[in-house]
Copies of this chain bind each other. A is one copy, B any other.
Amino acid sequence: MKSFILLFQCNDAKGIVAGISAFILKFDGNIVTADQHSTDPEGGHFFMRVEFIIDDTRHSLKDLKDDFLPIVRKFNATADIYNKHQLLNMGILVSKADHCLIDLLYLWRSKELLVNIPFVISNCNQHRDLVEQFKIPFYFMPAKKDNKMEEQILKIAAETDFLVLARYMQVLTPGFLKSYNKDIINIHHGFLPSFKGSDPYRQALEGGVKVIGSTAHFVNENLDEGPIISQAVEYVTHKDDLENLLSKGRNLEKKALSDAIRSYIDYRIIKYGNKTIVF
């Protein structure tokens, strides 16, 4: 018995859940969890995630997908089925700050983050030892504003399923995004939509805010404006100087980023316009 996950979105209509659950039953499958969401009870957009188990010795993922096509067509849906046991390949890009990198590596090592990490790319060579201790290939790519080395990165990243910018301080070009054409998750060290761009904790300090935050989001062509996946916040006071904000912020970044990645690899995220449904 293996677990599969079905993600589905379409304009709301009658019979979607019935159709999907009958499809699963036909394969003698059992629904483990299912989540639905509708933007409007009377005719909005409909989203669904179903996790089900079937006997995979009798049915392949390809069988499932083929058989599911008529339902997709009937509801003019965007949908796919995933094998829960197939680990995704997650490439990591990182600059100097290493707290998110370390957090991800340890979560990975302790099996709390079920992915493959085929490589870590950094424009700081100093992370090499750390990464190689984990038996993960490390590539030093001294990317700069005027030479982002994106072709080399693309080549290395070709086999990944998605990328994580774990505090990577080079903005990726639209050309890169287009060529890569898969999901990229970024952690922004500020509470978006406030404090876009650089040095958000200094912005927060100077703004005299009483709460700081960090934001994990998908990357799109607009800096720090892609669909938000998760945010983490913490109360601060006048006692918190810049160093304290940075320190509290590091915790928030680790939390928001690892939460977002966990949601992603569990196929709990559906993108819809500039927003996310996170089941």
Interface set of A (CB-CB < 8 Å, partner B)? 1, 3, 12-18, 21-22, 24-25, 28-38, 41-42, 51, 53, 98-99, 102, 106, 110, 112, 133, 191-195, 207-211, 213, 227-231, 233, 235, 237-239, 247, 251, 255, 274-278
Contacts and interface: CB of A to CB of B under 8 A. Distances in A.
A213 to B, nearest CB: 6
B12 A30 contact: yes
| Copies, count | 4
Contacts of A17: 17, 21, 24, 31, 34
B191 A239 contact: no
A16 B31 CA distance: 8
A35 B227 CA distance: 24
A237 B229 CA distance: 10
A238 B25 contact: no
B274 A208 contact: yes
A120 B40 CA distance: 36
10 contacts: A1-B42, A14-B25, A15-B25, A17-B17, A22-B22, A34-B34, A99-B110, A193-B194, A207-B228, A231-B235
Contacts of A207: 193, 228, 274
Nearest to A262: B247
The 4 closest A-B pairs by CB, nearest first: A208-B275, A18-B21, A17-B21, A194-B194
A53 B110 CA distance: 45
Given A3-B41, A33-B38, A277 B238 contact: yes
Given A25-B14, A208-B228, A278 B237 contact: yes
Given A28-B14, A30-B12, A37-B33, A210 B193 contact: no
Contacts of A38: 32-33
B251 A255 contact: yes
A76 to B, nearest CB: 16
A191 B212 CA distance: 11
Given A106-B102, A209-B231, A213-B211, A25 B33 contact: no
B208 A230 contact: no
Contact of A24 (B18, B25, B99, B274): B18
A112 B38 CA distance: 21
Nearest to A13: B30
Contacts of A22: 18, 21-22
Contact of A231 (B33, B112, B210): B210
